[in-house]
Amino acid sequence: MDIKGWRRLRIGTSSGMTPSMPIVSASNAANEFPALLEPQLCTHVEQPPRGVNWLHELKYDGWRLLARKHRDDVQLYTRGGIEWSQRLPRLVEADRNLRVDSAWLDGEIVHLDDAGFPDFEQLQRDMRARAERRLVFHVFDVPWLNGEDLTRRPLLERKTLLREGIEGCDPQIRFTDYVVADGADVFARADALDLEGIGSKRVDSGYYPGVRSREWQKVKCCRTLTVTIGGVQFDGDGHIEGLLVGTPTPDGLRFEGRAEFGLSRVGDLRQLLLERTTSASPFIGEWRSEPLRVDPSWLWD
């Protein structure tokens, strides 16, 4: 991801670095290559960790994705274990052509704009349209490779093996770059670039499927925007799938995107929205669906 200013932070990168803490024990190569694998999860913290025992990655505004490759057989799974191979056939083919016999790859599927920045709204649009041209699988870990269990190998060693296995293959699959630097400096740069945040991981950490570990931490760049609800989308069962929101301008309501999280905590929201339906769209300019409209007078923070 070539974002101006980020690569200039690559001071003291992984090359030749020896962690000061003990390395976790080597893996058991005799373990069976798993058919399913839960991703390791990050612990949310308010401040990034400091010290040379941590590396830092950009936190992409995308969807977590795991890829399982065993010879020519490839499956893609979401964080919750939903199989997505049929939704991303081009990525399946890219995984199939990697120079490895078998692997579990952990990363995020993102939409990158012309400047190399992630765009979550466009990612949602791409997934609905089954459009993969601008989608990139940014891979940051390889728990298994060529039949060997790497989950107890140190992170820096796994990253070296990962880079060797995927670089120079299909451009849709990219190695997630990282820096070994002061966490506060890295976070400040990410915040200045208006990114989602950073992920910080111990350089000697193992990979623990399904575990939310403090050896993996995430810090988000907190931003709030007061918006007006202009529409609501429902799923096939009639549940609220998302709110279409915008910001007022002299010409009308400008579409800003879709709010999807935390809606279940608002009691009776569905009924309240249904009571305020209107026949005309409040949005100006381009927006992307035909949902049920609501009177654009509510504020959503």
Q: How far apart are CA 296 and CA 248, in angstroms?
A: 9
Active site annotation includes 59: yes
Catalytic-labelled residue, pool 4, 59, 218, 220: 59
The pair of structure tokens assigned to 211 is: 């575990």
Q: How far apart are CA 99 and CA 177, in angstroms?
A: 20
What's the count of helices (H) and strands (E) in the chain, helices before strands? 5, 16
Burial of 251 (0-12, 13-18, 19+ CB in 10 A): exposed
Which strands form 54-58's sheet, in the order they lie side by side? Answer: 41-44, 212-220, 197-202, 54-58
Q: How far apart are CA 258 and CA 132, in angstroms?
A: 21
- In this structure, the strands spanning 41-44 and 212-220 are parallel
> Which residue carries 């890829």 as its tokens?
67
Just list the catalytic residues: 59
